[in-house]
Amino acid sequence: MKVTFEEVKKVVVDVLKIDGSEITPETEFIKDLKADSMDQFFLIDGFSEAFNITIPDDQAKEIRSVQDVIDVLEKM
């Protein structure tokens, strides 16, 4: 699956209700965006819905940054 940064960024902005101007592929959800565990759950759910896939728990636990999401989705 070909996934673009802009597609992932849109989900992050929509789920976290934030301004996306500072988001880069290196942006980390917890460190940079101050996401908590519930935010992370909603992000994984948002990515699953937006890209019509299911992200396994073991892969979801490894997602820390925007680039991690892109990498996981492209492998699916």
Closest CA to 34 of 22, 46, 45: 22
Domain boundary assignment for the chain: 5-75
pLDDT in tens, 6-59: 999 999 999 999 999 999 999 999 999 999 999 999 999 999 999 999 999 999
Q: Taking the domain 5-75, which CATH number applies? A: 1.10.1200.10
How far apart CA 30 and CA 51 sit, in angstroms, is 22
How far apart CA 57 and CA 6 sit, in angstroms, is 24
> What is the pLDDT at residue 2?
83
**Single pTM value for the model:** 0.91
Residues 6+ apart with CB under 8 A from 73: 1, 3, 8, 47, 51, 53
Record the tokens describing residue 37, joined without a space.
């565990």
